[in-house]
């Protein structure tokens, strides 16, 4: 540790963002990369912890205190080596990760935690600017062929690791470009797609192949996969959305969040969308149902499309602004979060239960809502109840349902392969991530259910270790 009193001398600084009045008019990234001097100063706050719990909080086990110390000392290249040892996509997690590690930072007990996510981003972007990040193809090939189905963060991380071990890897993606949710689900104002293209270009030069526009199980039969590859990793994500089946759901103007975000990302990238299919919030009163990150992304997208007003409603009560007593350090606390999209305008309402969509001439015009309360049953579980005499209406020309996902799509590949599912409807695997069929593994949301990008990366890396061990008898790839 460079300065044992750094955390006493320096206070945490908030991330820098472009002005609201400027960024609402475009889809460029809202975040501003920190200057090297600022990162060095913030890294000095990282304590010489006896037991650094940030490791415990990070699903990929980043060497956080070590590379923070290297940043402080100006050893950027060594910091980069440690960062890339655990993370295949630090330029992505440095932008979109909710930073579970920061909630576990020991400074968080009585102070503001270290700016871990920003420091991570500073390291990887410094590495790109200096030209240190270059393709490094494996020196030897094993002669084993592996198919990875799905090119989201789990599939990409798995493929990169397996290629590093010398296997020949092809990633199948049904969309026209690789990236999965990173490309189509996250708006450009949070993750510029040039960042993704930059990393994929490196992997291609290292030997990873991408078969885009190919739906495994449809365009490429399951039997062909079984015959043509020594192992298969299914990393297709959790793609069946949770819907809201109430009166009026069939009215026009009600959309699923991922349909809205995917189309917006396609439009921003220049893809042609037929006029009759365009989902546009311009001049409309927009209501987003769902208070999570996806809902916030929909809010930011609606702002940029020129919505006249945006209201985001959430069934659960408003979280506390400070850590609840029942979620003590080092747990990840459920606290109120204000995203950059919320800073750009709109209204947020809590404890709102939507009972009915009200329409006019076949189009949605209002939501009939009621204030929700919660009470515990005899088993200690929270039950939702409607508060008496609390009904109200919200005007809406457009409604976006951001209610999360249920499980992976079962038709097609999963059904053809006859794979077992767990009680939640996800792929069932053993401790080695192998499914019910030998040689077929699963990783990411398809296996563990809807989760974070950083968890998908962890799953992909772990699957690569297990596949390498299965094929070679042992593996030098890290377990996470």
Handedness of CA 79, 81, 83, 88 (dihedral sign): positive
Nearest-angstrom CA–CA distance, 396 and 362: 13
| Strand ranges (E), 28-68 | none
pLDDT value at residue 2: 66
The fold for domain 145-239+406-472 equals FAD/NAD(P)-binding domain (3.50.50)
Q: Which residues 6+ apart lie within 8 Å of 316 measured at CB?
A: 291, 350, 351
Q: Up-side HSE of residue 175: CA atoms within 13 Å toward CB?
A: 18
Nearest-angstrom CA–CA distance, 378 and 72: 54
Using DSSP's 3-state secondary structure scheme, residue 254 falls into strand
Nearest-angstrom CA–CA distance, 262 and 297: 11
Helix boundaries (H) for 418-452: 445-448
pLDDT value at residue 4: 85
> How does pLDDT run across 207-237, given as a tens digit for each residue?
999 999 999 989 999 999 999 999 999 999 9
For the chain, the helix, strand and coil percentages under 3-state DSSP, each to the nearest 5:
35, 20, 45
Q: Which CATH class name applies to 243-403?
A: alpha beta
CB atoms within 10 A of CB 9: 10
CATH of region 6-130: 1.10.1060.10
Per-residue pLDDT of the chain (480 residues; tens, 9 = 90+): 667 889 999 999 999 999 999 999 999 999 999 999 999 999 999 988 889 999 999 999 999 999 999 999 999 999 999 999 999 999 999 999 999 999 999 999 989 999 999 999 999 999 999 999 999 999 999 999 999 999 999 999 999 999 999 999 999 999 999 999 999 999 999 999 999 999 999 999 999 999 999 999 899 999 999 999 999 999 999 999 999 999 999 999 999 999 999 999 999 999 999 999 999 999 999 999 999 999 999 999 999 999 999 999 999 999 999 999 999 999 999 999 999 999 999 999 999 999 999 999 999 999 999 999 998 888 878 899 999 999 999 999 999 999 999 999 998 899 999 999 999 999 999 999 999 999 999 999 999 999 999 999 999 999 999 999 999 999 999 998
Read off the tokens for 282.
Answer: 């311009």
Do the beta carbons of residue 307 and residue 286 sit within 8 Å?
yes
Phi (first) and psi of residue 405, to 5 degrees: -130, 155
Instruction: Give the H or E element holding residue 136.
Output: none
Domains 145-239+406-472 and 243-403 share a fold: yes
| Cross-strand bridge partners of residue 191 | none
> How does pLDDT run across 113-156, given as a tens digit for each residue?
999 999 999 999 999 999 999 999 999 999 999 999 999 999 99
Nearest-angstrom CA–CA distance, 200 and 212: 13
pLDDT value at residue 1: 63
pLDDT value at residue 54: 96
Helix boundaries (H) for 104-243: 116-130, 153-164, 181-184, 193-206, 222-228
pLDDT value at residue 316: 94
Nearest-angstrom CA–CA distance, 159 and 384: 43
Domain definitions of the chain by residue range: 6-130, 145-239+406-472, 243-403
Terminal C-alpha separation, the chain: 26
> How does pLDDT run across 196-209, given as a tens digit for each residue?
999 999 999 999 99
Nearest-angstrom CA–CA distance, 440 and 257: 31
> How does pLDDT run across 160-178, given as a tens digit for each residue?
999 999 999 999 999 999 9
Instruction: Give the H or E element holding residue 209.
Output: strand 209-212
| 136 CB burial (10 A radius; 0-12, 13-18, 19+) | exposed
Read off the tokens for 84.
Answer: 């890339």
């Amino acid at each position: 540790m460079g300065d044992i009193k750094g955390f006493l001398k320096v206070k945490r600084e908030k991330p820098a963002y472009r002005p609201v009045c400027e960024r609402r008019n475009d889809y460029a990234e809202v975040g501003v990369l920190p200057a090297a001097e600022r990162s060095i100063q913030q890294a000095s706050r990282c304590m010489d912890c006896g037991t650094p719990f940030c490791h415990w909080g990070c699903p990929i086990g980043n060497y956080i205190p070590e590379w923070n110390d290297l940043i402080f000392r100006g050893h950027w290249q060594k910091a980069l080596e440690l960062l890339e040892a655990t993370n295949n996509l630090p330029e992505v997690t440095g932008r979109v990760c909710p930073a579970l590690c920061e909630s576990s930072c020991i400074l968080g007990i009585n102070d503001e935690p270290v700016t871990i996510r920003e420091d991570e981003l500073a390291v990887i972007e410094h590495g790109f600017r200096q030209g240190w990040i270059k393709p490094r193809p494996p020196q030897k090939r094993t002669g084993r062929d592996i198919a990875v189905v799905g090119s989201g963060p789990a599939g990409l991380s798995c493929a990169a690791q397996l290629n590093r071990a010398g296997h020949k890897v092809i990633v199948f993606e049904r969309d026209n470009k690789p990236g999965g949710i990173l490309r189509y689900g996250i708006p450009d104002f949070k993750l510029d797609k040039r960042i993704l293209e930059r990393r994929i270009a490196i992997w291609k030069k290292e030997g990873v192949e991408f078969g885009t526009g190919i739906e495994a199980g449809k365009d490429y039969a399951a039997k062909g996969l079984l015959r043509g590859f020594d192992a298969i990793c299914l990393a297709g994500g959790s793609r069946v959305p949770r819907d809201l089946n109430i009166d009026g759901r069939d009215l026009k103007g009600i959309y699923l969040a991922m349909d809205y975000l995917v189309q917006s990302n396609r439009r921003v990238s220049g893809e042609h969308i037929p006029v009759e299919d365009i989902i546009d919030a311009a001049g409309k009163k927009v209501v987003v149902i769902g208070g999570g990150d996806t809902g916030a992304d929909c809010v930011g997208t609606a702002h940029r499309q020129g919505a006249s007003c945006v209201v985001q409603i959430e069934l659960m009560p408003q979280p506390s602004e400070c850590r609840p007593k029942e979620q003590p350090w080092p747990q990840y606390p459920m606290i109120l979060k204000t995203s950059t999209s919320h800073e750009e305008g709109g209204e947020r309402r809590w404890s709102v239960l939507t009972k009915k969509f009200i329409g006019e001439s076949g189009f949605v015009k209002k939501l009939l809502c009621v204030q929700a309360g919660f009470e515990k049953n005899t088993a200690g579980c929270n039950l939702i109840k409607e508060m008496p005499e609390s009904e109200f209406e919200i005007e809406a020309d457009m409604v976006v349902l951001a209610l999360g996902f249920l499980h992976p799509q079962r038709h097609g590949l999963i059904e053809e392969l006859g794979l077992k599912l767990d009680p939640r409807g996800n792929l069932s695997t053993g401790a080695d991530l192998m499914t019910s069929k030998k040689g077929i593994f699963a990783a990411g949301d398809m296996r563990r259910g809807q989760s974070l990008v950083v968890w998908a990366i962890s799953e992909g890396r772990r699957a690569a270790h297990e596949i390498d061990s299965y094929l070679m008898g042992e593996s030098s790839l890290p377990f996470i």
